[in-house]
Amino acid sequence: MARKPTGVDLGLGDRCSRRAFHWAERSFEARRGRTGFPLFGGAGSFSNWMDFGSLKIAMTCDGIGTKAEVAERTGMYHTLGYDLVAMVADDLVANGIEPVNLVNVLDVDKPDEEIIDSLMRGLHDACLECGIAIVGGEIAELGARTGGWGPRMHFNWCATAIGVPRNGCEPIDGSRIEAGDVVIALKSAGFRSNGFSLVRAILEKAHGPLWHDVPSVDGRSWGEVALTPSFLCTPSVLALIDAGLPLRGAGHITGGGIPGKFGRVLKKSGLGARLDRLFAPHDFMQALIELGGISFETAIRQWNMGNAMLLVVPPPAAEAALSILSTCGATAQIAGEIAPGPIVIQGVPFAP
């Protein structure tokens, strides 16, 4: 029997992250009683707050992973800036933080001025959309240490962003979530920056090494589909905070999918959720599920399945939240409600 394509080992990744956090947390003592002591992190957190006296600052870092290879295959680079900004800015705003500054590190084998200009122009455009200033960066020439596809520049791209509480907002960490609260989904545009190892494995097995040129289910090439830029949730969530809506939790759906990332939001409340009205997976996601012969349980942990972010608000605030999100250009709908027990998606239970 042929082996089914697989993505990254999420369990191994989680264990490695726990090891990294174990040692990082032990370093907190170096700042106890001093400027910069970490105040917030762990369960329910997508970033960490630090104490600077009268000012609290939050920080997070992330990258676009192997989506860089899709750009190398298609020769289209500009939209990757949206993916990079989404990974860090949307993590910050999920905790009630306004992203303000960003630095980035671009590791390359050999610099290509035209490609770098396209990448940085896209980063600029995405940062402007979120109100972020790019305050520094590094382009590191690593030669053969950085591999990729095709004859032009190969690269990896990561960023660190910092932010401040929006309008004095207290940390949004899920601790105030109650049974009966409403879950609102923001629709994604594509895969964002997660699950690409599985995407590439399925497509390469089905279509060979030039899979990026093969037509997909919507008329675009598979390369164009995979490169779809991330929808930036940050402006929409900041608008909710500005309106004074009681946002009790927010989950940025990245690696680990809804069970992993929304499960993180629910940890402090000890509750689960019934999510029976999520956005359906994009047609191209469903096509890959069928093409790869993978299970729903695998797909929902690898991909966002059409849902970029899940928000939690009390029932009286739900309609106002939907109205504000629509005004901001986000496609949003009520996806379910908070309830005791596990997270249940399409009748399938997942431990929060």
Same-domain status, 283 and 235:
yes
With respect to residue 31, please indicate whether it lies within any of the assigned structural domains. no
Same domain, 210 and 127: no
What percent of the chain is modeled with pLDDT above 70?
96
Radius of gyration from C-alpha coordinates of the chain: 20
Model pLDDT, residue 104:
99
pLDDT score for 1? 38
Which of 140, 168, 196 corresponds to the end of one domain? 168
Domain boundary pick from 123, 142, 168: 168
Residues 31-75 have pLDDT tens digits of: 898 888 988 655 546 788 888 888 889 999 999 999 999 999 999
Overall number of domains in the chain: 2
Tens digits of residue pLDDT in 193-232: 999 999 999 999 999 999 999 999 999 999 999 999 999 9
- Same domain, residue pair 164 and 192: no
For residues 69 and 123, give the distance between their C-alpha atoms in angstroms, rounded to a whole number.
17
Task: Examine the domain organization and report whether 198 and 301 are in the same domain.
Answer: yes
Q: How confident is the model at residue 109 (pLDDT cuts 50, 70, 90)?
A: very high
Q: Where does a domain end: 168, 192, 209?
A: 168
**272 or 351: which carries more pLDDT confidence?**
272
Q: What is the pTM of this model?
A: 0.93
The verdict on 275 and 131 lying in the same domain is no
Tokens coding 325:
């999100």
Same domain, 270 and 313: yes
Non-local (6+) Cβ contacts of 250 within 8 A are 93, 94, 95, 96, 172, 237, 265, 309, 310, 311, 312
Q: State the pLDDT at residue 197.
A: 93
Per-residue pLDDT, 161: 98
Taking residues 249-254, what's their average pLDDT?
97
Judged against a pLDDT cut of 70, whether residue 2 lies above it is answered with no
pLDDT digits (tens, 9 = 90+) for 122-137: 999 999 999 999 999 9
Share of the chain above pLDDT 90, in %: 81
Write down the mean pLDDT value for the chain.
94
Do residues 202 and 338 share a domain? yes
For 137-176, write each residue's pLDDT tens digit.
Answer: 999 999 999 999 999 999 999 999 999 998 877 889 999 9
* In a shared domain, residues 283 and 216: yes
> Containing domain of residue 346, as a range?
182-350
Q: Is residue 51 part of a domain?
A: yes
pLDDT at 79 over 70: yes
The CATH number covering residue 45 comes to 3.30.1330.10
Residues 82 and 152 in one domain: yes
Asked if residue 226 and residue 320 are part of one domain, the reply reads: yes
Q: What CATH number has the domain bearing residue 286?
A: 3.90.650.10
Residues 133, 192: one domain?
no
